[in-house]
Structure formats: C-alpha cells, structure tokens
Structure 1
Amino acid sequence: MKKTNGRWLVVVLLFIATTVNYMDRAILGIAGPSMMKDLSLSTVQFGILGSAFFWSYALMQIPVGMIVDKLGARLTYSIAIVWWSLCTVFTGLGRSIGTLIGIRVLMGIGEAPAFPTNTRVISDWLPANERGVANGIFNSGTAIGIGITTPVLAWIIEKWGWQAAFVVIGSIGFIWLAFWLFFFRNQPSQSAIANKAEVDYIAAGQTETKSELAIKISPIKFLRYRNVWPMLYGLFAHNYLIYLMMTWLPTYLVVERHMTLLKAGFFTMLPWIMSFLGNILGGILSDWLIRRGWNSIKARKTILAIGMLFPLFIIPTVYTKDAMTALIFISIAIGGEGLAAGILWATVSDVAPIGAEGKLAGLQNFVGNLAGWLAPVVTGLLISQFKNFTIALIIPIVICGIASLAYTFIIKNQRISFHEEKTEEKNVATGM
C-alpha cells in the first residue's frame, strides 16, 4: 500500500495558522504611525502598547503547555484562534490607550497556545528525520505574517484607516478554523487523511515511547537540566530581534529613513522574505545532517549557533546613510537568523521526553516571550532618549551573539529522560 502524505497537509495547516497568528500581532507595527498620530500617542506609550500583548502571552505559556498535553491540539487550537481573532477585530474599535492595552492583554491569552500546540502536533505527526523541515515550514509563517502582507495592510490603512485593517485581518482566523476542524485529528491513526502505511511510517520514525512520568511531570523540573537553559535563552534572543523589528521596523523606515507608509510597507517585505527562506533552509540543513548520521541535537544546535551570528550584519546599518543599503543589511541579518528560527521548535521535540513536548515548549515560550515585555518598551525609551534607533539596534546583536555561544558550548547531545532519573532515585531509596 502506497502511503499517503496527510502529515504534510497538517504541516500546511500549522503554517497558515502561524501566518494568521503573526499577521494579527504584526498589524500593530504597520498601523503604528497612523495610530500614534490619530490617538496622540508618544513613542513610549506606543512601546507600552506593543509590549502589552506579551505580558499575558508569556505568563500563559507554562499553563497552556500543560493544557495542550492534556486536552489535545484539536480543541486547544480551535478555542485559541477564535479568541485571538475576536481580540484583533476589537482592537480596531479601541479609541483610548487604556482600552487598547486591555484588548492586547486579552489577545496575548488567546495566542498563547499556538507554538506549544504546533510543537506537540509535529511530535505526534512527523518522524524525527522530517521534523526540521516541518518546523521550518510552520515557523516560516511568522515571516509571512509579519512581512509579506505588509503592503496590503499599508494600502488598507491608507485607504480606509487603521481600524479597518484590524477588522479585516481578525476575520481570517475563522476561515482557517473550518479547515482545521474538518481535516485534523490529534493522532494520525484517528485521521482520515493518513492511511495505515503512513501511520506505520510515522510510528517507525518515532523510536521513543511516551512515559507516563513525563506526561505528569511539572514543567519547572526542566530547569534542572543544562540543555534547557540555552534553549530558553535562545528563543529570548530570537524574539528580542523579531519583536523589535515587528513593532518598530515600519516606523523606523518612516521616521528615520523618511519613507512614506506605503513605500515602507512595500520594502518591509524584504527582510521577511529572507526570513521565510532562512526558516525553510535551516530545517532542510538540520534534517540533512541527521540523515548523514549526525545526532539530531548536534545537528540542530550547529545550525542554531550559525544562525544566531547573522544579526552582526545589523552593525553596518548604523553607519550607512542610504535607506536601501540599511534595509539590505537588516534583511541579511533577519534572513540569516531565520536559519535558527526554523528549528528552535524542532529542538524541543528532540530534547523533551516523549509526552512532555508541550510542557517544555510552554516553558521555552514563556522565557522567550519575556523579550516581548522588553523589546518594544526599551526601544521606545531609547528612541525617546537619543532621538534615533542606533542603541536600540545594537542590543539584539549582543543578545544573539551570546545565544550562539550558549548553543555551541552548553547543550549536550542527548534527550532528557525522566524515566532514568526516577529509576535512579528508586535505586538509591532502596539501597540498590
């Protein structure tokens, strides 16, 4: 029997969901110049508004990791996308800074399950040697959501105002939901889109079995393992760069590089096209190394370390006076860092005990999204203080460089095993 390819349809659904997720986040940055003018917001106030989403988003990561492991991806994602889509629509109705902050906090709760759920789905539906590409594909939706739709959103804002853009984008999630409910089931064996040959193929590539101990374990226990700390910091570094650019890049091009909003919206696509390509390439390269016999964690951390060096290309941006030259260097930095972005989540599937992927993903996403608390606000404060973006652009270079060193020298090439630790504790207790 020839196997079906239902697992790749699932990956496409995750890619589209991630694209919608980031469109709903990124529209604030595109609407920023218009909102600041219309609502008389200072750069500091807009920075706080950009950060508000991440206050709740980060805090929800640990509980949602446990929720997705317990309730399953199908139900969790359905509730989440309805929640965050409604919040996006309601953002277009806000007329005061207080109301908008409240809506963005609620939106953070709704979007919190997305990446832990993606990670769990990839772990359940993909064999180990295809997870890098699969993670690269779904994570590339971040680049599409942030950048490729920017010209359309800028055009909507120019023609009908920033409020209309939030309503239009917020409505897309409900269309995706219909396809998700129709096609997706939590396990390949439960789904009509995967035949027995594909189910057997997936199972053969998942050499480990679920541990009841891993399923029940607290996410905080992961902090005892050295492999976890570089992963937590690495996502923080990645997110600091991405959230800074997501919130402030259009404003940077309008204010510092003197582009019109429509022109800035068009050229903002370039860094995110490069990021899209980097995400896919990072997954392909790491899976290729695994097929050549590399340990999966070694393959992932090698690409992660290389990708985190690319933000160094932001340095020339500070010194050039030409807007397009600056944008090209930013594009290389974000595109190269995309090599790492594509496999940040595949590494979770390789390191976490089977059955606890959602918990580790939630913990990683909690720490990683603390960057969302800092990047928009710190950038706004620095712009207000120094009247330019120079210091704000240097910070992610340093943060990402440290992440490259951490991936290189700290992560060990082995999966966490709670079962082995439990056995060892039992032996000690019984005197064996």
Structure 2
Amino acid sequence: MKTRLRWGVVLLLYLATSINYMDRAVLGIAGPQMMEDLSLTTVQFGLLGSAFFWTYTLMQIPVGPIVDKFGAKVTYAIAIVWWSLCTIATAGGRSLGLLLGIRAMMGIGESPAFPTNTRVIKDWLPSKERGIANGIFTMGIATGAGLSTPLLAWIIGSWGWHMAFILTGAVGLIWVPIWLYYYKNNPADSKMNEAELQHIQEGKIEQTVVSESKVKWYELLKIKNVWCCMYGLFSQNYLLYMMLTWLPTYLVMERDMSLLKAGFNAVIPWVVASIGAICGGLISDRLVKRGWRPIAARRTVMSIGMLFCLAIIPAGFVSNVGLALALISLSIGGMMFANSGTWAILTDIAPEGTVGTLAGLQNFIGNIAGWIAPIMTGFIVGYFKSFVGGLVIAGIITGIAFLVYTFLLKENEKTVTINENNEVVSP
C-alpha cells in the first residue's frame, strides 16, 4: 500500500496560495476605509492596487530560472517571509507614495509563488493527478481572496484597516517552518515508500531530458501553445484582479451595501470559484484517465471555463443585486474552472527542466493584467461614476480567451525537442 505524502505537499501549496491571496485581497476589503482615511481618489486607489504588479510581473521571467536552479524549498520559504513582512509594513503607510513603495516590494516577494507551485506539482505528481492538484492549490485563490472577506471586514470594522494588514501578514510567518520541515525538493528524499515513488515516476510523460540551466526563456516562445497559454492567463487575471481590487468596494459604492454586508456577500463568488477550481481539476484528470491526451483534456476545461466568464457582461446591466451577484459568481467560477487547467497544462508542454521557467514566463504575461485592470477600472469608475464599463471590458477580454483556447491551442502532443545548441525545436 503506497503512502500519500504527495497530497500533504499539495495541501501546503493550497495554504500558501490562500495566504498569498489573502495578503493581496486585504487591500480591496480595506479600500473604502483607506480611501476615506488617506483621502484617496478612485484613480489613486486603482494605482495602489496596480503597484503590486509592477514588480511582481517584471520578476516573473528571472524568478522562473531561480526556482529551477535553487529548488522550491528555500525559494518558497524566503518568498513568504518577504511578502509577509511587506504586508505587515503596509499598516504603517500614511501616504500614497510610501504605500506604493511597500506594495511594489511585496510584489517582488510574491513573484516566485506560482512558478514554484508549478515546479512542485511537476516533481511530486504524476500527469493524471496534476489537474486536481492544480485545482486544489488554485482553490487557495478563492479561499484567500474571498472566503476570508467577512473576517477581514469585521477586523477592519472593529480595529481599523491597519490591524487587518498586521494579522494577515503574521499568518504567513507561521506557514514557513512547517514547509521547511515537511517538504523535500526530491520526493525520493522524503519519507514516502517505494510504492508512492514508483506511482509518481511511472505517471510522468516522457520528455527530452536537458540540463535545467541550458534552455533560455525566450526559446520557449517558439512553442505555439505557449502563446495561447500566456494570453489565456492574462484574460483570467484581468477578471481576477479587477474583482480582487474592486469587488467589496463595488458592492459598497454601486450596490449601496455596508462594508460588513459587502464582506459577507463578497464570499459568494469565491465559494463558487472554489467549486469551479476543484471541478475543473477533477474533470480534466478524469478525461486523462479515460484516455484523452493531457493537452486535449486541459484545453476542453479551459475553453468551457472561459465561456462562463462572459456572464460578467450582463452583471453590469441588471438592477437586481442578487442576480448581479449570481452572474459575477458564475463568471469567477468559470475563470477558476479554467485556471486549474491553465497551470496543469504547462507540465505537459514544457521541455524537461524548464517548467519553472515556463510558468514564470506565463505569469509574466498574465500579470500584466494586474498593471491594467485595477487602475483602468478606477479610471472608468471615476469618470463615468459606474462600474458597468469595467465589467464589459473584462467580459470582452475573457471572451477572446475562449476563442484562443478553442481554435488555436493545439491538441496534438508532438514532442518538443532540444537541439545541440540548447534551442527549442518547435513541432
């Protein structure tokens, strides 16, 4: 009987991702109080929401090779200590300039998270289990961004926005020693038995073995599917970061809710998102087990998820609050349904030793959306006094991703090879 230590690792990734997004989301929940306390306009607050992504995005290309070279154990530990301290430091920000600097530093700390998650899944899970594993850790986005919202809204209402940043930052520091004790870069060095190790090794797709540091990131751009994946994540992140920054404030400003009531109602879309993440992972794995090629299985899930994202467009026009919230929930749920496949598919298309680099490259393009979505939405709200335009733009961007996944992401799994000059030879 085989051990199940790999699922303990997946649980740690889920917790890390939950902490990651809780530390990001607290800004959006604190938004109304911070804008009042610091006399910030909607455009300035949108700029503050965008600042995190200036550095986070730029770090994605260099951080991927760092993960591949130094391994996940040390990289993740340093990253979480870094971003947790920056979260705590946000409580001391009393000016827009200082807060922009702190958020930019926080972006550097969080930059290794998803490349590291993807590398860990690659090393610890067989291909047929990567969909659900990615679904579990991406469910942490919904947990951190939404399920913690009522608690954080209550903390802000009771003790102010400063205390919310201090407490959320402290949570990450608790996770680090558990990770350092439990995780091993090589599964063979853990306490798993031979049966589990064999299960992992036998379930990996055969790929060309290359040195981890030889293939340059720009060589991966020769793989056509990489471009589809990069735009797909960009579209998902546009919707995600718009909601992450503005959802509680949208409910307060556009739907006339109190902050505490908005906090409780903001949970609903993220509950649906959690279900979407798990279902997307389960379905793609089930398809693989039934004989589908992994890329075809992930692509199907990603296309269906992005189709549901279009529900964000009518959400901007309905007058009934419950219906608007239901449509927003369907949209975010679809995004998370697709997101589980977005990360799992990288382990199937990346040449051996480059999955961290490829994840960083995808995350670089994907998180350019973080530069754009918060501040563009803030500008639209400030100019038009309404969120409708922002929701429509998000719907158009995600709708294009549905077309990209459906018609351009190829199902055939021709092997990507590396020539003698360590260059990718595109199929």
Q: TM-score range by the shorter chain?
A: over 0.9
What is the aligned partner in structure 1 of residue 260 from structure 2?
Answer: 262
Shift of 1:216: 1.5
Alignment of structure 1 residues 2-21 onto 2, 5 Å: 2-21=1-20
Work out whether residues 351 and 416 of structure 1, in 8 Å CA contact, stay in contact via their aligned partners in 2: no
What is the aligned partner in structure 2 of residue 41 from structure 1?
Answer: 40
Letter in 2 for 1:132: G
Distance 2:37 2:360 in 1: 37
Distance 2:270 2:178 in 1: 26
What is the aligned partner in structure 1 of residue 319 from structure 2?
Answer: 321
Work out whether residues 232 and 364 of structure 1, in 8 Å CA contact, stay in contact via their aligned partners in 2: yes
What is the aligned partner in structure 2 of residue 339 from structure 1?
Answer: 337
Work out whether residues 138 and 336 of structure 2, in 8 Å CA contact, stay in contact via their aligned partners in 1: no
The unaligned stretches of length 5 or more in structure 2 are: none
Return the match for 2:226 from 225, 228, 246: 228
Work out whether residues 18 and 145 of structure 1, in 8 Å CA contact, stay in contact via their aligned partners in 2: yes
Shift of 1:416: 7.1
Answering whether residue 132 of structure 2 is matched by residue 153 of structure 1, we say: no
Shift of 1:207: 3.6
Answering whether residue 374 of structure 2 is matched by residue 407 of structure 1, we say: no
Alignment of structure 1 residues 30-429 onto 2, 5 Å: 30-192=29-191, 194-208=192-206, 211-213=209-211, 215-415=213-413, 417=415, 419-422=417-420
The unaligned stretches of length 5 or more in structure 1 are: 428-432
Work out whether residues 213 and 419 of structure 1, in 8 Å CA contact, stay in contact via their aligned partners in 2: no
Deviations 1:234-268 (CA, angstroms, capped at 9, x unpaired): 00000000000000010000001000000000000
Letter in 2 for 1:62: I
Deviations 1:70-113 (CA, angstroms, capped at 9, x unpaired): 00000000100000000000001110000000000000000000
Work out whether residues 220 and 424 of structure 2, in 8 Å CA contact, stay in contact via their aligned partners in 1: no
Shift of 1:210: 5.9
Shift of 1:312: 1.6
Distance 2:276 2:423 in 1: 43
Distance 2:416 2:403 in 1: 27
Shift of 1:415: 4.9
Distance 1:341 1:403 in 2: 12
Letter in 1 for 2:269: P
Distance 2:116 2:208 in 1: 17
Letter in 2 for 1:99: L
Shift of 1:315: 2.5
Shift of 1:286: 0.5
Distance 2:245 2:123 in 1: 33
Distance 2:72 2:422 in 1: 33
RMSD: 1.7
Distance 1:230 1:389 in 2: 29
Work out whether residues 312 and 397 of structure 1, in 8 Å CA contact, stay in contact via their aligned partners in 2: yes
TM-score scaled to structure 1, two decimals? 0.96
Distance 1:362 1:158 in 2: 37
Work out whether residues 119 and 361 of structure 1, in 8 Å CA contact, stay in contact via their aligned partners in 2: yes
Query: Structure 1 residues 361, 424: CA separation in 2 closer, same or farther (over 3 Å shift)?
Result: closer
Work out whether residues 353 and 416 of structure 1, in 8 Å CA contact, stay in contact via their aligned partners in 2: no
Query: Structure 1 residues 426, 230: CA separation in 2 closer, same or farther (over 3 Å shift)?
Result: closer
Distance 1:426 1:57 in 2: 27
Tell me, what secondary structure is at the counterpart of 2:3? coil
Worse-superposed segment, 67-76 or 339-348: 339-348
Work out whether residues 72 and 116 of structure 2, in 8 Å CA contact, stay in contact via their aligned partners in 1: yes
Tell me, what secondary structure is at the counterpart of 2:248? helix
Aligned length: 425
Worse-superposed segment, 154-163 or 410-419: 410-419
Tell me, what secondary structure is at the counterpart of 1:227? helix
Tell me, what secondary structure is at the counterpart of 2:417? helix
Letter in 2 for 1:204: E
Shift of 1:316: 2.4
Letter in 1 for 2:126: P
Worse-superposed segment, 330-339 or 101-110: 330-339
Letter in 2 for 1:89: I
Worse-superposed segment, 322-331 or 232-241: 322-331
Letter in 2 for 1:109: I
Work out whether residues 278 and 336 of structure 1, in 8 Å CA contact, stay in contact via their aligned partners in 2: yes
Deviations 1:33-81 (CA, angstroms, capped at 9, x unpaired): 0000000000000000000000000000011100000000000001000
Work out whether residues 68 and 212 of structure 2, in 8 Å CA contact, stay in contact via their aligned partners in 1: no
Shift of 1:413: 2.5
Shift of 1:422: 4.5
Deviations 1:110-169 (CA, angstroms, capped at 9, x unpaired): 000000000000000000000000000000000000000000000000000000000000
Deviations 1:339-394 (CA, angstroms, capped at 9, x unpaired): 10112110111111121100000000000000000000000111111110011000
Shift of 1:400: 0.7
Distance 1:105 1:337 in 2: 26
Distance 1:388 1:422 in 2: 57
